[in-house]
Amino acid sequence: MEIIISPDSATASREAARFLAARIRKNPGAVLGLATGSTPVPLYREIIRRHREEGLDFSGCTSFNLDEYVGLGADHPASYRRFMQENLFSAINLPADRIHIPDGLASDIPAHCAAYEKSILDAGGIDVQILGIGSDGHVGFNEPTSSLASRTRIKTLTTRTRSDNAHFFDSENDVPHHVITMGIGTIMEARAVLLLAFGENKAEAVAGAVEGPISANNPASILQMHPTAKIYLDEKSASLLKRRDYYRWVRDNKPDWQRDC
């Protein structure tokens, strides 16, 4: 794990975008794993800026989103398909036929999940996976106690996650209970994983994920087993880490050639 602590979320997002852009320039056919929620919004803004001002080209890329609410279609304002369209896809040149998001309206959910897994494999696997983290340590919508080997499937949200996500809906009652999410096993097969976490309410989850034991009680902690996991934090989300000074020293003293690896 590489822990990158920035003064604020904008700086952290620029750092993550720099890594992502370097991977896309190196591999124009990169397969991207994408997240929704509040966290990746500044990252997506920076990616859009790089597309517009620096010609960062997505025409050869393919994308797979982590998750979607069961029962919400593209026309629902809180659906993740709508979120991605508004916050990223409408502003970059990623071909529409290479965008994949679980279908919240699928009639046969297990068959849809199996097909989603197969599409990821057929695309050659995910090169860079973007992740946020829930205040309970979830990644994707793999809530605590999810199998650390799980694949794409239906999950039930915890009360805490439904409450955390209520601001995207008219009321907490409107937040669906069920979601389709890539599994933890699916996420762990990505070649590189970038987890972003900002704000005080993520500090406990981040401390558990980075410095706690690997446990299904904090699903993000499995990233300790990933060979290329980069954790982009602001000061607040990093505030409970015991080895903050060490992580800072490592980052400040990296050889240049290692920065975008």
By CB atoms closer than 10 A (0-12, 13-18, 19+), residue 108 is exposed
152 binds ligand F6R (CB under 6 A): no
The residues in 115-144 that bind ligand F6R, with binding defined as CB under 6 A, are 132-134, 138-141
**Candidate residues 4, 17, 24, 35; the one interacting with ligand F6R per rule CB under 6 A:** 35
d(CA 65, CA 170): 24
Contact 64, 30 (CB under 8 A): no
Q: What SS3 state is found at 119?
A: helix
Q: Closest distance between ligand F6R and the C-beta of residue 58, in Å?
A: 19
How many chain residues bind ligand F6R (CB under 6 A)? 14
Q: Do residues 137 and 205 touch, judged by C-beta distance below 8 A?
A: yes
Instruction: Single out the segment in contact with ligand F6R by CB under 6 A; choices: 33-41, 86-94, 203-211, 224-232.
Output: 33-41
- The reply on whether position 223 binds ligand F6R by CB under 6 A is no
**Residue 147, amino acid:** S
CA distance 68 to 54: 31
* Nearer CB in complex with ligand F6R: 200/245: 200
CB-wise, 104 or 140, nearer to ligand F6R? Answer: 140
CA distance 88 to 101: 13
Catalytic residue among 117, 136, 164, 189: 136
Contact 209, 144 (CB under 8 A): no
Q: Any catalytic annotation for residue 67?
A: yes
Annotated active-site residue 138? The verdict is yes
Q: Which residues bind ligand F6R (CB under 6 A)?
A: 35-39, 66-67, 132-134, 138-141
The catalytic residues are 67, 136, 138, 143
